[in-house]
Structure 1
Amino acid sequence: MAVPFHPPVKRSVEIAGHKTSISLEPVFWDMLRARASAEGIPINALVARIDAARIEADTPPGLAGAIRVWLVSA
């Protein structure tokens, strides 16, 4: 079995008409893609939803961290 460790990969996403780059390890990109597909929505829409929830936190984490936590706890 291959070791799952890999450096983060930077990709552009669009949130509310604003483009931003997010760096995530490939396993998280795969998980994000799978969740978006399962919900029948684009990755950008799922990231926007996670971002909206993140902003409401008392101490908002960075977007990449919020995505990682959301993926492993949802």
Structure 2
Amino acid sequence: MIRKHSATLHGHRTSFSLEDAFWEELKAIAEARGLSQAVLISEIDDQRPPDSNLSSALRIYVLQWLKRS
């Protein structure tokens, strides 16, 4: 199921939609890296291309992480 989530990135609230499976993987990745979810999401947001949306960037990050594992 896809759900809306929100986070504060650089002092601004933003929201994004992610399927539960991607959300769970993001939590696991943050834990594995010793980061909070907010810090991980902020890091991904900072690295995404300007013409992409945050939801897509998060999904791609999870996919790339899992492919490296």
Please classify the TM superposition score into its range, dividing by the shorter chain length. 0.7 to 0.9
TM-score by length of 2: 0.86
Equivalent residue letter for 1:21: S
Q: Which has the higher helix share?
A: 2
Which of 29, 38, 42 pairs up with 2:36? 42
TM-score by length of 1: 0.81
Q: Which has the higher strand share?
A: 2
RMSD: 1.1
What SS does the aligned partner of 1:70 have? helix
Q: Which runs of 5+ in 1 are unaligned?
A: 1-5
Which of 16, 19, 41 pairs up with 1:22? 16
Give me the identity figure in percent: 35
Distance 1:51 1:60 in 2: 12
Q: Which runs of 5+ in 2 are unaligned?
A: none
How many residue pairs get aligned? The number is 65
What SS does the aligned partner of 2:17 have? strand
How far did 1:60 drift? 2.7
Which of 45, 59, 63 pairs up with 1:68? 59
CA-to-aligned-CA distance 1:4-61 (integer Å, 9 cap, x gap): xx2x11111111111111110000000000000111111110011001110xx3x631
CA radius of gyration, larger in: 1
Match of 1:12 in 2: 6
